[in-house]
Structure 1
């Protein structure tokens, strides 16, 4: 067994990171989710493989907390509010009602089925609901990374719906986990069921309200600070943003709000406002997010002992299949009943892309470190097993399922692809699509004489109009004219 010490930690980290990159590159050729492979590298390097010993659930929880704050912030940073505005209410409904329904259905299955499937683990209602709550949210790291790697376009605004759901449903699952652990530990065991329900509902409302408010306020504060920083070294700007992310996470927790919701909303605010050196900040966070994701999955992979997973194969497969084929679809279809913009196939696809990943494993560590939760080792192992099952079955079929359902479409590339745009120009430039019904003069597409898919970009410089090419540099003062479907604006 190899102990990780101060003298060998840099070598261990270097080898594992290098292995992760090579394994991830090889796996992408076969459509394997990179994060699943990172998890596998950690398992191979652990006590059942190369012999690295790591058994601190508290440390893994801390690493996961930092990584998730960066992942959620980056997810918000790279999301255009114009994309999620049409799916705002469906996404929020999936992130709240969907999580509650998934927890209720899964918890009921665990309570009744585990009594005869694994009699030695006959959980009560609270323990059953705790396991269900741990696995109730979809994983933002998995969803974001798979969509970014796939370069897949989706109809019916399915991609922003799924990204919004995965980025905002962690708070609900986290609150359920904390509340249920408190009930199991005996906090308020003299209360009636009605009092417990009222207290839990109040806690949930306060956490969501303060989390959203904290994210909005501190997101705008981050924009204000970055735009007024005025330093010559542009690489100090991302450092300032990181400090603002951690400040947002911590301060929101202090005031009683949900920190995960706060950093995601802060990312949305920062990503949709004019920001100094935006390109540097976005590029930095893109790479930094991959780094923390790799470290998080390696850490979680080291934490598990693969031979212990053999004891949870049967209940793990039964529970995993139930979540994928029953609990998740039922929760999605019921949650989306009021929203008519999704077809039956669209709802099926949303149901299928309910990926489990690092978040359920991190939430399972809360049960491990809690002294009042019995059989916490079994809970951790079954959550880990279902995560692997989900990434194997669902993560590898994200693209093929979209094509099979007829929901895939070509990815629309930016009109500014290959053009060298300065940071100040890029921060104020936007792309618009204009249709005939938006024309003030009432002219039609045919009258204008342009094809329906016309998209042109023009720049006014020195009172002359030019069409930018790959080597065109844009400066402040240039005026961009967009032609999309209809006519020059």
Structure 2
């Protein structure tokens, strides 16, 4: 029992230290997940002396933590965001992982004196981006970029783990058996199809099951998040047992369940947010404890060289090849290439060669660990400056807002929201609350009063309102503080504005001719943008037409485009080198060169 208490004391102390380190990370801008790893290293066998060497236990614990993180990642991804970035994201998650593994494997072969198969195995281990690292940076790091780019990164990081896991497990099996890659080619293809197919199918079925049970079974409010978590892990485990990709299945189940109306949704999201933080802390701490830093100096130089090669060459080249057919600007492709953080997934996969009793098992682990630390240090510290340098930070539409949702009992078709009235907010300046929102209660200086008798709202009042589901964002602007207008807003949204009700023919006449086809000329500018975007437009969405860019500056309460900005210099190149251009830009460049030669 004394040993049990000592282990519990040490474990909880490490978790508390990791949790408190978030304050340090916020103050100095340090990558938080890197701090979790460093705390684990400091507490390990070469630090405070905690001797943890249970590779199989670490792999199982890390797999469960990763499943929890992926389910929460899918749960927080809107269906619209997934749709608009699904094809490029899935291309990155499959071909991108394969290209990265091949390029990195070639470098590893020469720097570590590996065989081609061993180099490809190490490349597969570090080929996927880390969902925890990417989601943390984009969702909680204060980086407000275009939804299309954000969705691409989030969906890619949530779906590329199955490909990396498949490649790593398959190569470990091939190397351990002594077979060649050629003899196992067809079997590998069939295994891949089986894992991905079962992952997608059972993930969708699992999402349907989660929603059905939560809606039909009378579950206590406090038990609902437990039911959801248990069902999600059940989907993960069952899919893995029958040979599918459990990680893909749990992510798909999260997307389906998160986009359905579930009664205690606010409680589920709050529970999952806390649990995801705990899963990240535990996973990074355990993997940090598993490492032996005293072994790092033997391979530090080639490992750091490989990490820099991955960050600066392998990942950018793989991303560029995958995004060539899609309409991403040079700056957007460059940003996607840079936000390819490696994390716990790579370290977790590096345990497989040890469990497979490969000759260089510990070398794979140590190299992957150093690569992850360098990636988190370089990319984690520079993501926001790079986004600002590339002009991808979207100016805020509204200022700061203090809002939280409350769950209603039963199956009420309303949402209950509470807003704290912010300084300089429109509602404080006298703007009326819409009729479809029903204010019920105001709390002022600790006293409760009915809205009708509260008089004019005051700063810091807490206002409770009943609204129809899905309309909360329309109220946000009323209770938000005044937006801080940046110096580069005009540069981002274009210097001029045009009426979205004007026709495409007028646009072609003004900025063409030959800008639009005859069919497009008959559409209004708003209809043309909706068609090109493939769905309902959102704030800051961009549509490139020839050499101009149309930008959504403002939408109305119905989601229709209200104001459109136009930029005559759509995307100034990030560099003078022809890096990260898409097919359309390459063809346009060839035409410009030919025109210049003729001139």
What is the TM-score with the length of structure 2 in the denominator? Answer: 0.70
> Greater helix share, 1 or 2?
1
SS of 1:203's partner is helix
Q: Quote the residue 1:442 is aligned against.
A: none
2:437–2:467 contact (8 Å) kept in structure 1: no
SS of 2:436's partner is strand
SS of 1:396's partner is helix
2:89–2:155 contact (8 Å) kept in structure 1: yes
Deviations along 1:225-249, whole A, 9 cap, x unmatched? 1112213x31100110111011101
Q: Quote the residue 2:99 is aligned against.
A: 101
1:418–1:470 contact (8 Å) kept in structure 2: no
2:266–2:405 contact (8 Å) kept in structure 1: no
Gap regions ≥5 residues in structure 1: 430-453
1:275–1:427 contact (8 Å) kept in structure 2: no
Stretch of structure 1 that moved more, 281-290 or 403-412: 403-412
Distance in 2 (CA, whole Å) between partners of 1:76 and 1:478 is: 19
Report the alpha carbon displacement of residue 475 of structure 1 after superposing the two structures with TM: 6.2
1:270 aligned to 239, 242, 257, which one?
257
Distance in 1 (CA, whole Å) between partners of 2:57 and 2:225 is: 26
2:367 aligned to 340, 365, 382, which one?
382
1:217 aligned to 205, 219, 228, which one?
205
2:414–2:466 contact (8 Å) kept in structure 1: no
1:202 aligned to 168, 187, 190, which one?
190
SS of 2:30's partner is coil
2:437–2:465 contact (8 Å) kept in structure 1: no
Distance 1:335 1:476, change over 3 A: closer
Report the alpha carbon displacement of residue 8 of structure 1 after superposing the two structures with TM: 0.8
1:156–1:346 contact (8 Å) kept in structure 2: no
Distance in 2 (CA, whole Å) between partners of 1:124 and 1:298 is: 32
1:138 aligned to 126, 129, 136, which one?
129
1:457–1:480 contact (8 Å) kept in structure 2: no
Q: How does 1:83-162 map to 2 (within 5 A)?
A: 83-111=81-109, 113-114=110-111, 118=112, 122-155=113-146, 157-162=148-153
Deviations along 1:411-451, whole A, 9 cap, x unmatched? 5569995365544799877xxxxxxxxxxxxxxxxxxxxxx
Deviations along 1:292-329, whole A, 9 cap, x unmatched? 11011110010011111111211111111111111101
Q: Quote the residue 1:333 is aligned against.
A: 320
Deviations along 1:362-398, whole A, 9 cap, x unmatched? 0001111112x11111110010001000000001111
| Larger RCO (CA within 8 A; separation ≥ 6) | 1
2:384 aligned to 399, 402, 421, which one?
399
Q: Quote the residue 2:305 is aligned against.
A: 318
Q: Quote the residue 1:69 is aligned against.
A: 67
SS of 1:53's partner is coil
Q: 1:471 aligned to 2:541? A: no
Report the alpha carbon displacement of residue 338 of structure 1 after superposing the two structures with TM: 1.1
Distance in 2 (CA, whole Å) between partners of 1:391 and 1:481 is: 34
Distance 1:413 1:91, change over 3 A: farther
1:254 aligned to 241, 247, 260, which one?
241
Distance 1:476 1:159, change over 3 A: closer
What is the TM-score with the length of structure 1 in the denominator? Answer: 0.85
Distance in 2 (CA, whole Å) between partners of 1:295 and 1:182 is: 28
Q: Quote the residue 1:368 is aligned against.
A: 354
Distance 1:5 1:235, change over 3 A: same
Number of residue-to-residue matches in the alignment: 448
Q: How does 1:428-443 map to 2 (within 5 A)?
A: none
1:461–1:479 contact (8 Å) kept in structure 2: no
Q: Quote the residue 2:526 is aligned against.
A: none
Distance 1:422 1:11, change over 3 A: closer
2:128–2:346 contact (8 Å) kept in structure 1: yes
2:413–2:469 contact (8 Å) kept in structure 1: no
Gap regions ≥5 residues in structure 2: 416-430, 440-451, 476-553, 560-599
1:134–1:360 contact (8 Å) kept in structure 2: yes
> What value does the CA root-mean-square deviation take over the aligned residues?
2.9
